[in-house]
């Protein structure tokens, strides 16, 4: 993989991270706004699980970004 390919992957990764962070923040805001809304426990659990899954994916993508940056720095 050459530097141009790594840079392109980094660009795509950054765009995905922005999208996921915005989505996770939106879900967390939604959870916070539901404190007085009539919802059942299963629905709230599902929303929390979705937020946690997105945050886990963000961590995975951040680790990939670091590996790509290291690869770019060593080439």
Q: In the prediction, which pLDDT does 57 show? A: 97
Q: In the prediction, which pLDDT does 1 show? A: 80
Provide the 10 A C-beta neighbour count for residue 51.
Answer: 19
Tens-digit pLDDT profile for residues 34-75: 666 657 888 888 888 999 999 999 999 999 999 999 998 886
Asked if residues 21 and 65 have their Cβ atoms less than 8 Å apart, the reply is no
pTM, entire model: 0.81
7-39 burial string, b = 16+ CB within 10 Å, else e? eebbeebeeebeeeeeebeebeeeeeeeeeeee
């Amino acid at each position: 993989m050459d530097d141009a390919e790594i840079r392109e992957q980094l660009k795509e990764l950054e765009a995905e991270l922005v999208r996921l962070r915005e989505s996770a923040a939106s879900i967390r805001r939604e959870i916070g706004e539901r404190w007085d809304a009539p919802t059942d426990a299963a629905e709230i659990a599902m929303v929390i699980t979705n937020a946690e899954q997105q945050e886990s994916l963000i961590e995975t993508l951040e680790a990939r970004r670091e590996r790509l940056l290291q690869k770019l720095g060593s080439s």
